[in-house]
Structure 1
Amino acid sequence: MKVEFELIRSRRKSISITMKYDGGIIVRCPLRMKNDDVIKFIQSKSEWIMIKQQEIKEMQKAKVERTLENGSSLMFLGKEYPLEIIINELYKKTNITKTEDKIIITVDIYDKEKIKEELKKWYKVQCINVVTERIALYQKYFRDSPKEIKVKEQKSRWASCTYDNRILFNWRCVMADINAVDYIVVHEMCHFEYKNHSKEFWNSVENIMPDYKIRKQWLKVNGIRMEF
């Protein structure tokens, strides 16, 4: 098989491979790692690459494109909410509210791209609020705390932790069930001590969250539903 990938060299101690939502591959490695060693690593992961790319193809076939019109379904903390769009020319500033049974957006004009961008902004605010609260809940298990918490657009991962303990969350995290959100939070906080996915790292995750594999599987199965 022929494998194309994006190679990112940085100040890190180990090599890792990430599969993006579209099946693209990102390989991250130490600055001075030899190209031959990078190739050998990718070859050792060939079976995993094939399996993951096939899974993505199957998910893409089942993907339902969200049209962002009245009645469209949006997720928030694992629950589906119908979208209600209200057009009011007096509302120059978009307003978004979530009730018990729907998400309501009020805009001055029906513009699908504007609605999409405004919803993303709203989700980002909700996400930072939720993950900040969950980090505070789990902080008792960790000696270190995050230097910074940010929410951004990330296509290939739910979150990431930098070498100096800044956590970057995908805004779509807040669409996930709260148990899955907690897994993402604990996963990234465990990177404070382990900057890799070693056995010690996963033991650390399991000590805090014994059922983490179930929560991780939920994300794998439902991740395709969290896009628009």
Structure 2
Amino acid sequence: MSGSRIKDITYEVLRSQRSTADIVIERDGRVLVRAPKSIPDERIEEMIEAKRYWIYKNLAEWRDLNATRVLREYRNGEGFLYLGRSYRLLLVADQDEPLLPKNGRFCMWRDLVDRGEIEAAKAAFRDYYIARGSERIRQRVDYYAPKVGVAQRDVAVRELGNRWASCSPNGNLAFHWKCMMAPQTIIDYIVVHELCHFHHLDHTDAFWNEVDKVMPAYGERKEWLRTHGAGLDV
């Protein structure tokens, strides 16, 4: 991946075997050009110039959405999301695991917070979401794969940076652990979205037609994720 700048727009270029080029605004606000290996740099610069207004508009929307990002504190009563529901945090002195759901709450070792080990507290949530997501998302992939018309795939739930999901060159799927904070309907949308990329690597009309075949109301779920995605964090 290489970085470039045209006037006031800084962007990165990711080249691959894809046949078309597009521009996306990543969840961290980066401008990313996904392009075929054969396309010259001059053509990419022309794309950036042609899409300048679109880039401005979408970056402004990104700033507005991220202005509402929720900064959670590790204290009694703070709400943490799981499958779209908010569960209050309860700090406890003794239990078998660093983080356990119990009686409608997330119970966490108090020592993690008292010692100021916030990264360890975050890791406890991450590990919980990975463990739960590995089973649940696997089930949803198995359910939707035949509906999309693709073979069942290996599935992993892990840290993916600024992507909700990804597909390796050999066809294995990975999903961000933060997906488990979203409602089930949104997780299903992410699953279908990624599976449809086996038919079309880009986001052309043909791709969205594939998504629509399986999930006609995908537009509402796509918009929910765009609007609320910044709040899916610990």
Establish whether TM, by shorter chain, passes 0.5.
yes
Deviation at 1:59, TM superposition (A): 2.3
Q: Distance in 1 between matches of 2:61 and 2:86?
A: 23
**Structure 2 unaligned regions, length at least 5:** 1-6
Farther off after superposition, 43-52 or 132-141: 43-52
Contact 1:18 1:156 in 2 (8 A): no
Contact 1:147 1:164 in 2 (8 A): no
Contact 1:145 1:165 in 2 (8 A): no
Q: Distance in 2 between matches of 1:51 and 1:127?
A: 34
Whichever residue aligns with residue 196 of structure 1, its letter is D
Q: Distance in 2 between matches of 1:161 and 1:182?
A: 16
Contact 1:159 1:170 in 2 (8 A): yes
State the match for 1:81 in structure 2.
87
State the match for 1:38 in structure 2.
44
Whichever residue aligns with residue 25 of structure 1, its letter is V
Deviations 1:37-69 (A, max 9, x none): 111222232222212211221123222311122
Sequence identity percentage: 28
| Aligned alpha-carbon RMSD (Å) | 2.0
Q: Aligned pair 1:185/2:188, yes or no?
A: no
Deviation at 1:33, TM superposition (A): 1.3
Contact 1:70 1:83 in 2 (8 A): yes
Deviation at 1:102, TM superposition (A): 1.4
Q: Distance in 1 between matches of 2:161 and 2:59?
A: 15
State the match for 1:114 in structure 2.
120
C-alpha spacing 1:50/1:137, structure 2 compared with 1 (3 Å): same
Q: Aligned pair 1:105/2:108, yes or no?
A: yes
Q: Distance in 2 between matches of 1:50 and 1:27?
A: 15
Deviation at 1:163, TM superposition (A): 4.2
State the match for 1:142 in structure 2.
148
Q: Distance in 1 between matches of 2:53 and 2:90?
A: 44
Contact 2:145 2:152 in 1 (8 A): no
**Structure 1 unaligned regions, length at least 5:** none
Farther off after superposition, 156-165 or 109-118: 156-165
Q: Distance in 1 between matches of 2:227 and 2:103?
A: 25
Farther off after superposition, 57-66 or 75-84: 57-66
Match of 1:55 among 43, 50, 61: 61
State the match for 1:95 in structure 2.
98
In the TM superposition, structure 1's runs of 4+ consecutive aligned residues that sit over 6 Å from their partners are: none
Whichever residue aligns with residue 102 of structure 1, its letter is R
C-alpha spacing 1:192/1:54, structure 2 compared with 1 (3 Å): same
Whichever residue aligns with residue 143 of structure 1, its letter is G
State the match for 1:129 in structure 2.
135
Farther off after superposition, 58-67 or 29-38: 58-67
Contact 1:146 1:165 in 2 (8 A): no
Q: Distance in 2 between matches of 1:164 and 1:48?
A: 34
Q: What's the secondary structure of 2:72's corresponding residue?
A: coil
Deviations 1:103-154 (A, max 9, x none): 1223654322211112111112222222111111112213322442122223
Whichever residue aligns with residue 119 of structure 1, its letter is F
